Structure 1
Amino acid sequence: MSQLLGRHDCIENLRKDLVDLQGAIVDVFSRIGPVSFSSWKFPDKLSCNLDMVALLDQYDFVEGEVSFNQHSHIVLLELVIDR
C-alpha cells in the first residue's frame, strides 16, 4: 500500500473526490444553511468556512517532490474524512 502514497494518479483522484464531496455539501447547505461544527482537520475553524480551493491549490502533486507528494496525499485523505 505504501507504494501508492504520493502517486500522481492517487492525488488526482483524491482531488476529484474532494471536489465532488464539496459540491454535495454546498448543495445541502443551500437547502438547510451552513452547519456550525468544527473541522476535524482544522479544529480552530468551522468546517463550513474551509477554503477548499486554497487547500486544493496548496496540496497538489509536484513533479520530483516525493516527500511533499506523500504529505499532500495524506492531507487530502484527511480532508476527505473532514468533509
Structure 2
Amino acid sequence: MAHLLGHRGCMESLRADLRDLQAAIADVTSRAGAVRFPSWKFPDKASCDLDMSVLLQRYRHSDSEPEFSQHAHVVLLELVIDR
C-alpha cells in the first residue's frame, strides 16, 4: 500500500470524501449549531473553525514534488480523522 502514498487518484478520492464530509457537517451544524471542540490535526483551533476549502487547496497532488504529494496525502488522511 505504501506505493499508493501520494498517488493522484487516491488523493482526489480523499479530497472528494472530505468535501462530502464537510457538506454533511455543514448540514448538521446548520440545524444543531456548531460544536466547539479542538481540532485533532490543528489543536490550537476549534474543528468548526477550520477552512476546509483552504486546506484542500494547500494539500493537493504535485507532479513536480513527489515528497510534498506524499506529505499532502498523509495530511488529507489526518483531516478525515479530524472531521
What letter matches 2:15 in structure 1?
R
Give the equivalent residue in structure 1 for 2:35: 35
Pairwise CA distance, 1:63: 1.2
Alpha-carbon RMSD across the aligned residues, in angstroms, is: 0.5
Pairwise CA distance, 1:62: 1.0
Give the equivalent residue in structure 2 for 1:80: 80
Aligned-pair identity (%): 61
Q: TM-score of the superposition, structure 2-length normalised?
A: 0.98
| Consecutive aligned runs of 4 or more in structure 1 exceeding 6 Å deviation | none
Q: TM-score of the superposition, structure 1-length normalised?
A: 0.98
* Alignment gaps of 5+ in structure 2: none
* Alignment gaps of 5+ in structure 1: none
